[in-house]
Amino acid sequence: MHLSKLADTLIGSEIVKLGGEIRALQQQGAKIYNFTVGDFDPNVFPIPTLLKDEIIKAYQNNFTNYPAAEGNLDLRESLVDYIQEYFNVDYATDEILVAGGGRPLIYAIFRTLLDKGDTVLYAVPSWNNNHYTHFVEGKHVLIPTDAATKFMPTAAGIAPYIKEANLLCLCSPQNPTGTTLSAEELMKICDLVVAENERRGAHQKPVYIMYDQMYSQLTFDAISHVHPVGVCAAVRPYTIYLDAISKSFAATGVRVGWAFGPSLIIAKMKAILTHLGAWAPMAEQKGTAVFLKNKDAIVSYIDSFKKEIAFRLDAIYKGLIALKQQGYAVDAIAPEAAIYLTIQFDLVGKKTEQGVLLEKQSDVTHYLLKEAGLAIVPFSAFGADTNSNWYRLSVGTCKKEDIDAMLHALDKALAKLQ
């Protein structure tokens, strides 16, 4: 069968493959602690009550027709206030585009800004930038990161590639690492972009920033969310933001996301999405418009939500560090934000009780799943090298009572290795 080059060259999802292995073990009766999903169990983390009530009310009032292509005006007006309140920047309604979650908006950004062969800079690990670059037949340039930088990109890592860049993809708080950019580092990155665009002048395509801040409300302790225009006003003409209710309000399935940035770019993105029909549903937009105007409801929900997420991340982090102190080849980076923990299993070269050698990192992933029931996602699923021994652990579906049991099972599994 003759298919398109794109269809024939799409990269399969390692997370989907891992999910199949998890289901097979569960069908055999195994107890699996599934920390792979970048989603929420709604029975553990329900969406805000006001948001749910307003969506139901919108359906009861028959808001079931097409929404406006750019997003309903009442929602975009609410977003004007929300963006000003929480990010201290002013964007007008014609600088905001609403869609069915973040993915259509990312696709529209790539299609609006990039031609075949244009260069996309992104850190590894990072979520799906490799796939979207593939969609537009762009040139992949990977920004080096490591544990020393908490797997976040730096201006020093970006600088060697900035002259060839057309799009710089940044995400903070970051999926998959649960770590963040500091204001100082982000300012250095933005200064690089501004200086490069000044060098190019008006007759050459600029380098743009796509700034994914889906987890902006979920920062912990002394960590504060920062964003490009907040630290460098001069970068505003080159920055397109991504945000949604998906993560900050545990509303992944409600499918209301938005982008904001220069009005011309937003208008072109709208034109692309008009042909895709990737709109957020009318009733969900109506409910979100009301919810985002209610500051008390937002603050109350976020305060409780963050405490529950932070408890889980901290408990697992401390448990892993305790295992490290026992001499096991494990490590973790202290959680800063989002619903993720970055953890390390340096077990290649170890042997199981049966004398089977763990020859490569995929063997380690399989061993942890089979012997400890621990399901986590290797960084290789996010563009990192297949030899990387770092993983993403997500607590979005984690029940508190499972934490100690998982750590105990992991302890037993590690103790069996020689």
Asked whether residue 242 carries a pLDDT value surpassing 80, the answer given is yes
Asked if residue 315 has pLDDT above 80, the reply is yes
Residues 192-204: pLDDT tens digits? 999 999 999 988 9
Q: Which residues contact 338 (CB under 8 A, 6 or more apart)?
A: 173, 174, 175, 178, 215, 218, 247
Residue 88 reports pLDDT greater than 80: yes
Distances (CA, A) of 73 to 160, 253, 264: 42, 22, 18
Q: Quote the pLDDT of residue 30.
A: 87
* Average pLDDT across the chain, whole number: 96
pLDDT band at 282 (very low <50, low <70, confident <90, very high): very high
Q: Is residue 66 predicted with pLDDT exceeding 80? A: yes
pLDDT confidence bin for 19, thresholds 50/70/90 = confident
pTM of structure = 0.95
Topology match between the domains 5-45+300-415 and 49-294: no
pLDDT for 14 beyond 80? no
Per-residue confidence band for 85, with pLDDT thresholds at 50, 70 and 90: very high
Structure tokens at 59: 């359906």
Residue 12 has pLDDT above 90, yes or no: no
Look at residue 25 in the predicted model and tell me its pLDDT. 85
Write down the pLDDT at residue 23: 83
pLDDT at 259 over 90: yes
Can you give the pLDDT at residue 349? 96
pLDDT at 322: 98
Domain residue ranges of the chain, discontinuous segments joined by +: 5-45+300-415, 49-294
Predicted pLDDT of residue 94: 98
pLDDT tops 90 at residue 20:
no
Q: Name the CATH topology of 49-294.
A: Aspartate Aminotransferase; domain 2 (3.40.640)
**Average pLDDT value for residue range 102-115:** 97
pLDDT given at position 17? 75
**Which H, E and C letters describe the chain, residue by residue?**
CCCCHHHHHCCCCHHHHHHHHHHHHHHCCCCCEECCCCCCCCCCCCCCHHHHHHHHHHHHCCCCCCCCCCCCHHHHHHHHHHHHHHHCCCCCHHHEEEECCHHHHHHHHHHHHCCCCCEEEEECCCCCHHHHHHHCCCEEEEECCCHHHCCCCCHHHHHHHHHHCCEEEEECCCCCCCCCCCHHHHHHHHHHHHHHHHHHCCCCCCCEEEEECCCCCCECCCCCCCCHHHHCHHHHHHEEEEEECCCCCCCHHHCCEEEECCHHHHHHHHHHHHHHCCCCCHHHHHHHHHHCCCHHHHHHHHHHHHHHHHHHHHHHHHHHHHHHHCCCCEEEECCCECCEEEEEECCCCCECCCCCECCCHHHHHHHHHHHHCEECEEHHHHCCCCCCCEEEEECCCCCCHHHHHHHHHHHHHHHCCC
Topology at the third CATH level for domain 5-45+300-415: Aspartate Aminotransferase, domain 1 (3.90.1150)
Average pLDDT over residues 40-68: 97
How much is the pLDDT for 247?
97
| Mean pLDDT calculated for residue range 103-107 | 97
Report pLDDT digits (tens) over 176-234: 999 999 999 999 999 999 999 999 998 899 999 999 999 999 999 999 999 999 999 99
Percent of the chain with pLDDT over 90: 90
Residues 168-179 have pLDDT tens digits of 999 999 999 999
Residue 319 has pLDDT above 90, yes or no: yes
